[in-house]
């Protein structure tokens, strides 16, 4: 049987990567970025989904299992299968892990905010998890490894200063299709490869239901829009619907703020981020 | 003649550290009887310097450069640095040193300023492409993007170069299912230019990562027939060296006398005509 991933890569061979070469670039760069900053360990949040699983396998290849700490941070409504899948990955890689239930602090806060929407709750949970990872980062002297892929970053489908926060992100330049390809190659358990992606903020939530299109469709679209620089007319000629073109191009622009540092109002002649320009690896 | 390429990983903006790295590579090259050692582009500073460029500019008379040049007594060394000229312009330069003296400096002419590259913002543009004599024969230097302009190796070959040294900082990007984008173009380019101009090309590309941008390495040496003699590993530091037969230049040029048959007058005449036409073209047609 041809899997959906194989189908997508046949339809869109331009999204396929040389897996060993991609993994070698990702792991060597990840290792170098962390080690030259003076760290030897990394910590990351493990949700049971495919993105954090791939980040974990890459981190294990880069640093060895003894230098990677996986943190599971379920909320009481998190699905049981997410935790089981996270456990599978922990067992398979042999990394050190810990579980922090975020229900007490989340519930304590929202008792004061009974009118909070699911969106507010989801964002709060994502940011709670971020603060835990950064606390453990200080505790273990380990840098936080990111788990946001390129599709999510472009669509802005993530929480600013929440799941989008990290010190180094090995997935940020990989479309979801490519995350799936590399995950399969690197040996992420099949139950994780095959399930519908979900932020798991409420029951039966799936990314694709919420976004209104599938990751495979939007990845092909993003490739033609960004990598091939096609115009709107050309995109429609390629068979992408007007609605998708409209919806996605708007999303990308609207969420640019999530991809940038806060705006600084210019007063001086060397403003941080404007005309005070240095790489983060300055002197490393 | 034994030539070597130092496929190294410079630290970003740390001249002192890189200076000592250079000494380590020189030592290793000497132990392997290398007679000419080529470092990558901007080997003394790293690549994505941005505003660090202003602080890292060094005059050729500065202490660091003078001292590094003294290490060229047993082998010729070619390294990259940010050159601060006497009129306070910063250049992306590569220096050839031999017998404790500076032999030649090439200032990068074609500064990529598009996509992920921003060199034109910081560096002045070199104005000279010229070969120079060395104890091994006539050589020329082209820095990375310079090599992507066919007029550049053409000029060096016409100027009697038998070697082109190509220090580079080529990034690993546009990965697809078979390779890093631009990688196979690099090798095709090196092989074609070596064969068309019947000369040796030494391509030294760095490795390492700056803010998530990796450089692919894969340094290579190509002979005057356009055959690749050796190629370094991808993404890993490596001292790549090989013995080359200088007589191959003579044999290649006798076998296929492309350079003898080149019509320089025709080229100059046509270029002048093209230039004149461009100058005379109306602005708004």
Q: What is the CATH number of the domain that holds A194?
A: 3.40.50.620
Q: Between chains, do B209 and A278 touch, taking CB under 8 Å as contact?
A: no
Q: In what order do the strands lie in the sheet with B90-98?
A: B101-107, B90-98, B76-84, B36-38, B2-7, B238-243
Is the separation of the CB atoms in B175 and A17 below 8 Å?
yes
Q: Give domain B2-280's CATH superfamily.
A: Carbon-nitrogen hydrolase (3.60.110.10)
In a domain, A239, yes or no: no
Q: In what order do the strands lie in the sheet with B220-222?
A: B132-134, B137-141, B163-168, B200-205, B220-222, B228-231
pLDDT per residue rounded down to tens, chain B (285 residues): 999 999 999 999 999 999 999 999 999 999 999 999 999 999 999 999 999 999 999 999 999 999 999 999 999 999 999 999 999 999 999 999 999 999 999 999 999 999 999 999 999 999 999 999 999 999 999 999 999 999 999 999 999 999 999 999 999 999 988 888 888 899 999 999 999 999 999 999 999 999 999 999 999 999 999 999 999 999 999 999 999 999 999 999 999 999 999 999 999 999 999 999 998 886 665
Closest chain B C-alpha to A34 CA, distance in angstroms: 10
pLDDT value of residue B122: 98
| CA nearest to A177, candidates A157, A149, A154 | A149
| CA nearest to B79, candidates B148, B130, B8 | B8
ipTM score assigned to the predicted complex = 0.92
Domain count along chain A: 1
Annotated domain spans of chain B: 2-280
Long-range (24+ apart) CB contacts under 8 A made by A34-38 are: A34/A62, A34/A63, A34/A143, A34/A167, A34/A168, A36/A281, A36/A284, A36/B11, A37/A143, A37/A167, A37/A284
Average pLDDT value over all residues in chain B:
96
Bridge partners (DSSP) listed for residue B282: none
pLDDT per residue rounded down to tens, chain A (284 residues): 679 999 999 999 999 999 999 999 999 999 999 999 999 999 999 999 999 999 999 999 999 999 999 999 999 999 999 999 999 999 999 999 999 999 999 999 999 999 999 999 999 999 999 999 999 999 999 999 999 999 999 999 999 999 999 999 999 999 999 999 999 999 999 999 988 898 887 777 888 988 999 999 999 999 999 999 999 999 999 999 999 999 999 999 999 999 999 999 999 999 999 999 999 999 88
Which run of H or E residues covers position B209?
strand B209-210
Q: Between chains, do B51 and A283 touch, taking CB under 8 Å as contact?
A: no
Task: Using a CB–CB cutoff of 8 Å, tell me whether B175 touches chain A.
Answer: yes
DSSP for A12-60 reads -GGG---HHHHHHHHHHHHHHHHHHTT--EEEEE--SSHHHHHHHHHHH
| CA nearest to B105, candidates B80, B125, B86 | B80
In a domain, A116, yes or no: yes
* B window 45-104, beta carbon within 8 A of A: 48-52
Chain A residues with CB under 8 Å of B234 CB are 21, 24
Chain B residues with CB under 8 Å of A33 CB are 209, 211-212
Q: Is A174 exposed, middle or buried (0-12, 13-18, 19+ CB in 10 A)?
A: buried
Cite the DSSP H helix spans in A79-237.
80-93, 103-111, 118-140, 150-155, 176-186, 190-194, 207-211, 215-222, 232-237
Out of A18, A22, A277, name the one closest to residue B50 (CB). A277
| CA nearest to A178, candidates A30, A21, A22 | A22
In a domain, A261, yes or no: no
pLDDT value of residue B284: 61
Chain B residues with CB under 8 Å of A280 CB are 211
| CA nearest to B46, candidates B80, B23, B85 | B80
Suggest the residue from A38, A150, A279, A280 to mutate for an interface test with chain B (most B CBs closer than 10 A).
A279
pLDDT value of residue B285: 55
Task: Using a CB–CB cutoff of 8 Å, tell me whether B285 touches chain A.
Answer: no
Out of A13, A17, A281, name the one closest to residue B210 (CB). A281
pLDDT value of residue B281: 80
3-state secondary structure of B37: strand
Domain that holds residue A16: 4-207
Strand pairing of B132-134 and B137-141?
A: antiparallel
Please write the tens of the pLDDT for every residue from A34-59: 999 999 999 999 999 999 999 999 99
Cα dihedral A181, A187, A188, A191 sign = positive
CA angle B42, B88, B107 (to 5 degrees): 40
In a domain, A213, yes or no: no
Closest chain A C-alpha to B169 CA, distance in angstroms: 16
Chain B residues with CB under 8 Å of A18 CB are 175-179
Q: Is A253 exposed, middle or buried (0-12, 13-18, 19+ CB in 10 A)?
A: exposed
Searching chain B, which residue's CA lies closest to the CA of residue A272? B51
DSSP for B79-136 reads EEEEEE-TTS-EEEEEEEEETTEEEEEEE-S----STT--HHHHPPPP-----EEETT
Strand pairing of B200-205 and B220-222?
A: antiparallel
Suggest the residue from B46, B116, B211, B236 to mutate for an interface test with chain A (most A CBs closer than 10 A).
B211
Which run of H or E residues covers position B70?
helix B63-70
Chain B residues with CB under 8 Å of A16 CB are 176-177
Is the separation of the CB atoms in B21 and B51 below 8 Å?
no
CA angle A107, A111, A112 (to 5 degrees): 130
Cα dihedral A248, A249, A250, A254 sign = positive
3-state secondary structure of A207: helix
Q: Between chains, do B12 and A279 touch, taking CB under 8 Å as contact?
A: yes
Strand pairing of B132-134 and A96-99?
A: unpaired
Average pLDDT value over all residues in chain A:
95
Please write the tens of the pLDDT for every residue from B75-128: 999 999 999 999 999 999 999 999 999 999 999 999 999 999 999 999 999 999
Cα(A203)–Cα(A257) distance, integer angstroms: 29
Please write the tens of the pLDDT for every residue from A246-263: 999 999 999 999 999 999
In a domain, A37, yes or no: yes
Q: Rounded to 5 degrees, what are φ and ψ at A179?
A: -60, -45
């Amino acid at each position: 049987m041809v899997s959906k991933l194989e189908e997508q890569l046949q339809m869109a061979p331009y999204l396929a990567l040389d897996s060993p070469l991609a993994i070698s670039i990702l792991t060597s760069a990840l290792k170098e970025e962390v080690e030259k900053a003076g760290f030897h360990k990394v910590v990351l949040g493990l949700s049971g989904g495919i993105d954090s699983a791939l980040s974990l396998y890459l981190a294990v290849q880069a640093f060895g299992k003894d230098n990677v700490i996986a943190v599971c941070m379920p909320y009481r409504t998190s699905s049981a299968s997410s935790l089981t899948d996270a456990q599978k990955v922990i067992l398979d890689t042999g990394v050190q892990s810990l579980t922090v239930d975020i229900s007490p602090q989340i519930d304590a806060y929202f008792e004061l905010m009974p009118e909070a929407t699911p969106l507010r709750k989801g964002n709060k949970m994502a940011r709670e998890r971020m603060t835990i990872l950064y606390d453990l980062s200080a505790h273990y002297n380990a840098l936080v490894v990111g788990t946001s892929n390129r599709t999510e970053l472009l669509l802005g489908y993530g929480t600013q200063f929440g799941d989008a926060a990290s010190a180094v992100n090995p997935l940020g330049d990989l479309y979801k299709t490519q995350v799936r390809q590399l995950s399969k190659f690197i040996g992420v358990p099949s139950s994780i490869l095959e399930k519908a992606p979900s932020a798991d903020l409420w029951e039966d939530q799936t990314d694709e239901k919420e976004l209104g299109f599938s990751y495979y469709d939007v990845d092909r679209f993003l490739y033609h829009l960004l990598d091939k620089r096609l115009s709107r007319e050309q995109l429609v000629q390629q068979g992408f619907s007007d609605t998708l073109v409209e919806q996605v191009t708007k999303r990308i622009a609207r969420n640019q703020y999530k991809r940038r540092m806060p705006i600084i109002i210019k007063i001086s002649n060397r403003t941080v981020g404007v005309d005070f320009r240095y790489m983060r690896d300055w002197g490393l | 003649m034994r030539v070597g390429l130092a496929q190294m990983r410079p630290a970003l903006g740390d001249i002192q550290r890189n200076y000592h790295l250079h000494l380590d590579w020189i030592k290793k090259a000497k132990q392997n009887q290398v007679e000419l050692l080529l470092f990558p582009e901007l080997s003394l500073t790293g690549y994505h310097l941005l505003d660090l460029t202003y602080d890292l500019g060094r005059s050729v008379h500065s202490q660091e450069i003078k001292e590094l040049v003294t290490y060229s007594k047993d082998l010729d060394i070619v390294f990259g640095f940010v050159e601060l000229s006497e009129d306070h312009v910063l250049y992306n330069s590569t220096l050839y040193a031999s017998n404790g003296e500076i032999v030649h400096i090439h200032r990068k002419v074609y500064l990529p300023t598009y996509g992920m590259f921003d060199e034109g913002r910081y560096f002045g543009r070199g104005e000279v492409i010229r070969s120079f004599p060395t104890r091994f024969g006539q050589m020329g230097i082209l820095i990375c993007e310079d090599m992507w302009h066919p007029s550049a190796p053409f000029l060096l070959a016409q100027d009697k170069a038998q070697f082109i040294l190509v220090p580079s900082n080529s990034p690993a990007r546009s990965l697809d299912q078979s390779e890093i984008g631009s990688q196979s173009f690099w090798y095709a380019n090196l092989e074609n230019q070596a064969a068309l101009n019947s000369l040796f090309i030494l391509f030294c590309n760095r490795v390492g990562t700056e803010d998530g941008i990796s450089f692919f390495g894969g340094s290579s040496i190509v002979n005057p027939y356009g055959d690749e003699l050796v190629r370094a590993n991808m993404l890993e530091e490596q001292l790549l060296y090989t013995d080359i037969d200088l007589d191959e230049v003579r044999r290649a040029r006798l076998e296929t006398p492309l350079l003898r048959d080149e019509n320089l007058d025709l080229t100059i005449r046509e270029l002048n005509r093209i230039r004149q036409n461009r100058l005379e073209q109306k602005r708004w047609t």
